[in-house]
Structure formats: C-alpha cells, structure tokens
Amino acid sequence: MSKFIEIQDLIFAYTDESGMAKCNAIDNVSFTVEKGSFLAVIGKNGSGKSTLAKNINALLLPTSGTVLVGGFSTKDEDHTWDIRQRAGMVFQNPDNQIVSAIVEDDVAFGPENLGIEPEVIRERVDRALENVNMGAYKKKAPHLLSGGQKQRIAIAGAVAMRPECIIFDEPTAMLDPSGRREVLDIIEELHKDGITIILITHFMEEAARAERIIVMDDGKIEMDGSPKDIFEDTEKIRALSLDVPPATELAGRLRAKGIDMGEIVVDEDDLIDRLTGSGK
C-alpha cells in the first residue's frame, strides 16, 4: 500500500490579533497514513486533533514542517484545490455545513465548484445519495431532517467530489445514539469501498472500529497503534483523561474477578464471542 498522507515535523500555532504566535496547537507531529486505511484520532478537548484535521485539508497551513496529501504539499497554493478535492471533510455540526435549501442541490455543491459537466454531476449526486441511503430524500429541505440524516447529507456532499480520503471531524458529537450508529455504519461502508478514512472522535467505541488509533495530548502524539495495542494500556489511556471502550472495561473487570478472558477485547462482538465461546 502506498502512503496517501505524509506529515513531517508539523508544528502549528494559532496567532492572536497582533499576529503573535500563541502556544503550539500541534507540536512536532510526524506520521503517515496508508492509502485505503482507517485511522481514528482521539484525545481530550484542546489536544489538537481538530487542528490536525484542518491542516490535512489545507484549511490551515503549517507554521513549520510539511503536510503532503497525495504527493502535494499543502503549502503549494497551486494544488490547494487538488488537495481539497482528494481529501474531503465532514464537520461536527451538520447544520453549519449544508449550503442549499434542497438536499440534492447541497450534494451537488462540491462537484459544481469543481466545474464538472451537469450530466456527470447528476449521476454523482444520485450515486452519493444512494451510498448514504438518502436517495428518497433528494428533493427535501435539510432543516426538516434529523441530525443523523443531515450528517449523512454532508457525507454525500463529500463523497460526490470523489475524494480518495475523507476526514471526519467529530461527525457524531451532536447526534443521538441512532444517528451515531447510522453515520458510523456509513463510514465503515466507505472504508470498504476503498476510501481512506480519518475519524476524529470523542467516542472510544467508535475509535475501536478503526484499524489504527493515534492518541493526541497537548499537540503531541502520545500513542499510535492498533485499537488492541492502545486499549491494552488502560492506565496510560486514563492518565490522558480518556476512557477505554465499554467492552474493554467490562472484560477488564471480569478478568479482575478471575475469569479467563483471553487477550484484550475492544468491541462488543469480540466480547460476546469471548463470553459465549468460552462456555462459561
């Protein structure tokens, strides 16, 4: 697999009104993301995870260091639009990212900006809405939809641009549990279709569904590994003011009671398998 995103020594500092740099929101971060992989980024509030996402999409430019997306540096202004087309983005608040008062017009917004032929846009919009199971709603007004549905429209808007990677910046933070499930299922679906996924989240059980997790704290990468590696180290996770997924928590407590749970579990299905399979 080739590398899609390469981040080298990235430092990013927000500046105040006078142009003075405040403390580094991202402090010397380097990592790469393989094409077609599913990466989750977790960390407490203010750990720099959203800032990191905006750096990948060229919405913010590095104070120092480089961010390469599909081989283009985000500092290279000639390729800003190439980068944004290849690395789509879905934000936290579904209301504040929908442009049009008709669902299908909103999904068409991105492709229209790319200057694509109307017939091709029509085809892409229909396909994207099918992908998020919202085909039946294409003539509806977004403000009449539920949060989960709106967020699916926002995802369709990103998908219609045919990106290679989609960055989700806490897409489920404002949704109810059923909305969260809908959105997560679609993210996994997109990953299966070969799109590189970067999921920034507060929810550990969502992160557990990724192939790899990066834990950020205070602008630095504290941990980087598979969900099992990360949640194995429960103490370190707790020390970073985070939690382990409920399934891991339960398995850990059972283990403490002396029940043989085998190796670390990170999701509910694993836990159920372990509990029923062991025959106890």
Compute CA distances 35 → 32, 157, 191, whole Å.
10, 21, 11
Q: Could you say whether residue 104 binds another protein (CB under 8 A)?
A: yes
- For residue 44, the minimal CB distance to another protein (Å) is 22
> Dihedral sign, CA of 246, 251, 255, 257?
positive
Q: Could you say whether residue 183 binds another protein (CB under 8 A)?
A: no
- For residue 53, the minimal CB distance to another protein (Å) is 10
Cα angle 102, 115, 56; round to 5: 85
Choosing from 47, 55, 85, 149, the residue that interacts with another protein (CB under 8 A) is 85
Q: Could you say whether residue 102 binds another protein (CB under 8 A)?
A: yes
Using an 8 Å Cβ cutoff, are 171 and 90 in contact? Answer: yes
Contacts of 103 (CB under 8 A, 6+ apart): 129, 134, 137, 138, 139, 140, 141, 142, 145, 153
Choosing from 115, 177, 194, 277, the residue that interacts with another protein (CB under 8 A) is 115
Q: Could you say whether residue 199 binds another protein (CB under 8 A)?
A: no
Choosing from 16, 17, 78, 117, the residue that interacts with another protein (CB under 8 A) is 117
Choosing from 76, 77, 95, 176, the residue that interacts with another protein (CB under 8 A) is 95
CB burial readout 186-199, b (16+ within 10 A) else e? bbeebbeeebbbbb
- For residue 92, the minimal CB distance to another protein (Å) is 9
Q: Could you say whether residue 16 binds another protein (CB under 8 A)?
A: no
Q: Hunting for tokens 């990592």 — which residue is that?
A: 31
Point out which residues bind another protein (CB under 8 A): 54, 57, 59, 81, 84-85, 88-89, 91, 93, 95-102, 104-105, 108-118, 121-122, 125, 141-144, 157-158, 161
